[in-house]
Amino acid sequence: MNAIISASELADALAAGEPPVLLDVRWQLSLAKAAGEPPFDGRAAHAAGHIPGAVYVDLDAELASAPGASGRHPLPDLEVFGAAMRRAGVSARRPVVVYDGGQGWGAARAWWLLRWTGHPDVRVLDGGLPSWQGELTTDVPRPVEGDFRPVPGDTGLLDADGAAALARSGVLFDARAGERYRGDVEPIDRVGGHIPGAISAPTNENVAPDGRFLPAEELRARFKALGATDGTPVGVYCGSGVSGAHEVLALAVAGIPAALYVGSWSEWSSDPARPVAVGPDPQ
């Protein structure tokens, strides 16, 4: 099954007899607080207009736990996550489509969590809300309670030690911007740089200017050139496990399975004992 869905395909699915559950995960990484500006309000954006039937999901509160030693967006408490998904109408045997404001990161985080915890049919709206040509509504959705019970998968998740090992034995992609990977700048975390052995693969290079993913064959060629050859285990990290989920989604579009280090750089760099590499080279 394709991990993404086009706007026209979604319109057809919503017009069918059993439409998918729609989740609106509009979210932005914001540095506004440091600038004295209010952060992006996804809930307000949803209230101002959303695809009919879409339920808002709060990434910070429902798709992550509170920031701490495990990073800025650690795994959510699965009871909290499961309850949020059921409130949104998510059931084990009903397809789910997730969208955000177009960047794709928030939607990818929800996609990854649902897939990792056992939902069999989840797709992301390619290009997000800007790709939607249908009507928007301000109506408050009232979904029927779902029955989804999240069960963590045996694979697909990396911790700090696993990420370090994979950087040596397989391929570990760093999905952040190149300047953060090199350590030229670090606007959020304690120190700049990257996990030794990790390869720079900014996730914004996986999409076209309109936010839609590049064709699968182009993505396969890109990741192969970066070392993701057949049989090589692949992992991804970013700043806090959000844009990294977007790269895992891009890899899925390319037909390449990959694990996510959810703690990512925000966890790794918080421990001064962990090694940090700087510059353009992996080591």
**CA neighbor of 163 nearest in space, from 264, 83, 55, 25:** 264
Place of tokens 């394709």: 2
Question: Can 256 be counted among the known catalytic residues?
Answer: no
| CA 268 to each of CA 15, 73, 239: distance values in angstroms, whole numbers, following the listed order | 45, 13, 9
d(C-alpha 48, C-alpha 101), whole Å = 13
d(C-alpha 265, C-alpha 272), whole Å = 12
Instruction: Return the CA Rg of the chain.
Output: 18
| CA 71 to each of CA 52, 130, 144, 241: distance values in angstroms, whole numbers, following the listed order | 34, 30, 34, 9
d(C-alpha 43, C-alpha 8), whole Å = 25
| CA 6 to each of CA 123, 125, 249: distance values in angstroms, whole numbers, following the listed order | 10, 6, 15
**Set 7, 199, 238, 254: catalytic member:** 238
| Cβ atoms of 43 and 23 closer than 8 Å | no
Q: Which residues carry out catalysis?
A: 238
